A and B are shown apart, each in its own frame.
Chain A
């Protein structure tokens, strides 16, 4: 049973560029949430997708956007990258909005120079 997978593992971008991160949820899960984890801190909620729609959003600017596909996989897009966007980006999946448990992927380490 495949767990949550994310790609790429690491990424280096330059300020002002755009980046797309990808996530495949755990088998049987249909809800994907994205989190940003700065070094030495806990994950911060970005947004959650269910039925291909953004259902809830954290305190992140519009430069952060996402998408969910019919197969439940998801993308996180960040435009106009800032140095402060350097972080570990985590994807978590769960089974429907009626379930609490969220399982995390290994993350994508984004470095903005």
Chain B
């Protein structure tokens, strides 16, 4: 759901476990989606992207799944490490212009 102020949804996982972060997008015409990682005091860092003509894309330790039927996006992180602790945002793009960001999820990795 939507986050309000500082109350970001939080996902807490053990180091070495797999993490799944979910995102619902709003615009059925969006044709491009990006996951960003944002560490405290820094700008968003590009993780992985996917176009609407795909339903899955894999990177190094990360996989993004896209379900256009229910307008849902997920980011899977394999073997989560302490350095993965951050806030994760999904963003959608229509027409190669502005990115629309979803509400973020704070990932906490427990040692």
Total A-B contacts with CB atoms under 8 angstroms apart:
66
Contact between chains at A101 and B3 (CB < 8 Å): no
Contact between chains at B93 and A40 (CB < 8 Å): no
Residues 38 to 56 of chain A near chain B (Cβ within 8 Å): 39-45, 48, 55-56
User: Which residue of the partner chain B has the closest CB to A38?
Assistant: B5
Contact between chains at A42 and B104 (CB < 8 Å): yes
- A39 to chain B: closest CB distance in Å? 7
Contact between chains at A106 and B99 (CB < 8 Å): no
B61 an interface residue at 8 Å Cβ cutoff? no
User: Which residue of the partner chain B has the closest CB to A91?
Assistant: B43
Which secondary structure dominates chain A's binding surface? loop
Contact between chains at B44 and A48 (CB < 8 Å): no
- B104 to chain A: closest CB distance in Å? 6
Assembly CA distance A63 to B69 (angstroms): 40
Tell which of A33, A42, A99, A104 touches B45, judged by Cβ atoms closer than 8 Å: A104
Which 8 pairs between the two chains have the least Cβ-Cβ distance?
A42-B101, A104-B43, A45-B98, A40-B6, A100-B32, A56-B97, A104-B44, A106-B43
